[in-house]
Structure 1
């Protein structure tokens, strides 16, 4: 199983698991969070593995996508974010996508948007999930190219994009 190999190969993991993938008290800011890593290859390899795992663990996609922004200039704070995701994986090893045999074939979609969610650029971040019955079939999280003037406008843009994707 890829998750256990990632956790076993990572010598930086402490034994205590976490129950969330990110600290929600404060966001990391690109320009002022921590000291640059002397060797960023550890961070980049770990991020590659975590991004691979988001295909079967969609709950990681927001956290991994957020930390992916900092591949060009990683710091010790972002490496701590990666460690937290690994701790979460250790505590939730049996969680994953479930494809049910009993399916009603109803398509359900969910979306959310965060106006000014990126602290550096103040651009909104939106995401969506699509289910057929109880099985997840599509998901996406993306930072908008333009800044929304209000949270309502960001929500409407996210709904319009999800509507286009559903067709």
Structure 2
């Protein structure tokens, strides 16, 4: 298919079109599908807004269907309309680690595994991000959120060590934003509730770092949670709003 004349779209994935393993007829050229996914993976190094869509499509590389290929064309049409888009790094910013942690519970319709994601900023610059489907099924949304929180905590610790090794002065403590009130409450509570025993290791990881003032755990509204871009497909309006918060600029857009 020739995409040079195709119409651009606002988002890389349509929210109302969930994808399954076998939800349509097999695509007649699976090699082409795999090649496209492999090439698009490189774009996620500079385009965090594509991370969710591409990691979602790569799950179907073994046996892609026509519906999966059509979802792929949506990503390509979005790239066509945002060809000059990329991360912007300001030359003046307070050097402080700011993290955002989020989850999407039981999002996979085939396995009911969840997606956990996080973003790491150094001042106003986005320097690290990840969106990954978990390997096991979680029994509650709280478990998924706390798992994502523990992973983000370890990343903050690693970035802190890295800055210290390079002898770079930075503002302490780091800030970690989480929109789950239960996770924040248990992270700050010395007593573990009965329902947290099966994730006690993650609880200790977060609480220990929190008590040592590695970071402050702060609330954030769902509308302001920028890492939503990495956990689920969004409508055009919230997608564009959160994109601006990631300091992603389009070189071809008017100033």
TM superposition score normalised by structure 2: 0.59
> Residues 55-111 of structure 1, C-alpha deviation per residue, up to 9 Å, x if partnerless?
111100000000000011011111111110011111112221111111211111111
Q: Of the candidates 86, 90, 108, which is equivalent to residue 96 of structure 1?
A: 86
Please state if 1:58 is matched with 2:48.
yes
- Map of 2:166 onto structure 1: none
- Where 2:73 maps in the other structure, the secondary structure is helix
| Cα shift at 1:152 | 1.4
Structure showing greater radius of gyration is: 2
| Cα shift at 1:30 | 1.0
Please state if 1:17 is matched with 2:8.
yes
Q: Of the candidates 48, 62, 73, which is equivalent to residue 63 of structure 2?
A: 73
| Cα shift at 1:164 | 1.2
Please state if 1:26 is matched with 2:17.
yes
Contact 2:105 2:141 in 1 (8 A): yes
Q: Of the candidates 140, 147, 154, which is equivalent to residue 164 of structure 1?
A: 154
Distance 2:69 2:115 in 1: 22
Runs of 4+ in 1 over 3 A off after TM superposition: none
> Residues 31-56 of structure 1, C-alpha deviation per residue, up to 9 Å, x if partnerless?
3x211122211111111111111111
Distance 1:79 1:139 in 2: 26
- Map of 2:210 onto structure 1: none
Segments of structure 1 that go 5 or more residues without pairing to the other structure are 1-9
Distance 1:45 1:83 in 2: 13
- Where 2:85 maps in the other structure, the secondary structure is coil
The number of residues matched between the two structures is 157
TM superposition score normalised by structure 1: 0.89
Distance 1:119 1:111 in 2: 22
Distance 1:47 1:17 in 2: 19
State how 1:1-150 maps to structure 2 within 5 Å.
11-12=2-3, 14-31=5-22, 33-150=23-140
Contact 1:13 1:86 in 2 (8 A): no
Change (3 A) 1:153 1:14: farther
Contact 2:116 2:148 in 1 (8 A): yes
Distance 1:13 1:93 in 2: 12
